[in-house]
Each structure stands twice: as structure tokens, then as C-alpha cells.
Amino acid sequence: MKSIQDTLAQFQAGSIDKPTFIRTMYEEHHAALFDYANYLAQTNVRKIEIEDGKVVMTSRDRGIRIACTPGDYRVSPMETLNFFDYEKEESTMMENLVADGDNFFDIGANIGWYSINIAASRRASTVYAFEPLPTTYGQLQTNLALNATNNVKSFHFGLSNQAGEFTFYYPPEGSGNASSVNLTGRSDVRTFQCQVRTLDDFTRETGTRVDFIKCDVEGAELLVFQGGLDTIARDKPAVLAEILRKWSAKFNYNPNEIFALFRKLGYRVFTAEGGRLHPFGEMDEHTIPTNYFFLHPAKHAELLRRYEANA
């Protein structure tokens, strides 16, 4: 399909006449505006703004504004357009588990979807957003400014089990798949040198308490938790982690090692479904869930009483 600029160039070159140009511009390009206007009602995107060089989508439920990046079709607003919402089950449960005034650590903040939503729904909380990729960190700053967010502290480095500078890889169509290994194995991935620290070093140096951790780092979740063992043992934060077999394999570990790590610290493991927490055992090749909650029975007794299935 031709772009708007292609159609305009045809008209300016005289290869199509004015009536054809007007009809083509509407039928092939402008009519999509009305198509979206009719489509949006079934999604959590309330509004799409088209500005000079920018497309901004606003969520229906909370009015969060997110600038989209050309070519990145896995960004959260695009996923919301495709599937009507973005990880709704997990997002709702996460907000249920975060209390106003908590320190929320968004490890792998990407463009800020979770950080900004938590900041908006828990205004007395402080969000610590960690994003190592330079271009994505820039988009995070753009979105924080779009929402006039003042309770998010952003940090331009990642978290792992050791500090240093590492090469990160990501495919052009998905900054959310950025990782310190080439997950896709493709030759067209882009690379950046990124700074990485450990969670324990950060909390020790800043004196920060951690109440909730959202960790989505494309396979490196075990490394993040290994670098934060002292912090987790001390503060016993609730945790939401995305854990996929295919990504952990790229880092040469079994996902069950993460579950074992938390259970050794006294935690229980859950998935979220139907607004309830369901106990989870071990992952195998038939496991479907990819998002897991970790709660400590002593620290989170009231939350478990309220949200655990059959509690």
C-alpha cells in the first residue's frame, strides 16, 4: 500500500489528476481515521492524537498518555489496540497489591506504561523506574513529561547480578524485547552498550526500602533477583515477574530456579486469574502462564487473606 507521501508525490509529478488524487487520499489514507474512531470504543484506548511527527494514545481507564514509536508494533498502546487491553489481569492484581505510600520498583520499565499507571493510581507512592536502553529511556522521559508525572524517579541503567557495561540487543520492531543476549538470533538486531548495577548495591547506597518489584527483563529475571537477595530477604517485597521458558533458556537456566530462590526465602508463588491469586507449583513444557506473583506469608498475610483463591 502506498504511503500518503507516495500519493502526494504522484499528484505533484502530474502522474494522477486532481480528482483522482482527492479520491485516493480519502479512500487509501484519510478514511482510516473514521475506521479507528469506530474501533476505539471496544478498547482501552480512548483517544489517538496525531501531532507533528508524533502519535500519542490516551488510555480510557486512567487517561495515561503514551507516545508511540514508528515501527515498534509491540509497544503497550499498540497491544491495547490489538487485544483491547494490556495484560489486564496482571495489572489489576498488581494494583491491588500495591498500597499507597509503597516504593514500587519497575525493573525493565521500557517506555513507562506500568510506572505511569502505578504513579497515577497510587499518588502517595514513589516509583523507581529502571531502563538501560538509551532510546527507550528517552521515550520513557517523553511519556513521563506527557503525563506530568512527579512521583516517578527514573534511572538510566539496568539491574542484574553484577555491575558493569554490557551489550544489549533489540529488534527494530520491539524495544520491549531488549535483552543482554540476542533473544531472536537475528542478524538485524540493534545493539547498545548499557550500564547495569545490582539491586543490593542500589538500595544500600540510597537507603531505599522496596515494597513491590515488577520485573520484566526478557529472560534475565533470575540475574536480577540474585543481585537483590539481601534486599528481598530484608524488605520482603511483593513481586510480579514475567518468566518465559524460551527466554530463560537463552540465559542457560531453568525457570524453576527462580521459584526455588523465592521459596528458599519463605515466599509462595501464584498466578492471577479471575481477580484471585492461585498457588503455583513447578513449570514444565505444558505451563501456559507467563506472569507470576511472589508473596511472603508473614509480610503479606492480609493480602493473601483478601486475594488468595479459597482463602
Average pLDDT over residues 197-210: 98
Q: Which has more pLDDT, 93 or 170?
A: 93
Pick the more confident residue, 175 or 145: 145
Distance (Å, whole) CA 204 – CA 234:
11
Average pLDDT over residues 223-250: 95
Higher-confidence residue of 189 and 40: namely 40
Q: Is pLDDT at 161 greater than 80 in this prediction?
A: yes
Selected residue with higher pLDDT from 73 and 293: 293
Q: Are 188 and 171 in contact (CB under 8 A)?
A: yes
pLDDT at 107 over 70: yes
Give the mean pLDDT of 121-138: 94
Measured between alpha carbons, how far is residue 216 from residues 44, 110, 147, 220 in Å?
22, 9, 22, 8
Neighbouring C-beta atoms of residue 259, cutoff 10 Å: 20
| Global pTM exceeds 0.95 | no
Model confidence band, residue 47 (pLDDT cutoffs 50, 70, 90): very high
The answer to whether 45 touches 60, Cβ cutoff 8 Å, is yes
**Confidence tier at 180 by pLDDT (50, 70, 90):** low
Integer Cα distance of 41 and 225 in angstroms: 40
Question: Does residue 144 register a pLDDT over 70?
Answer: yes
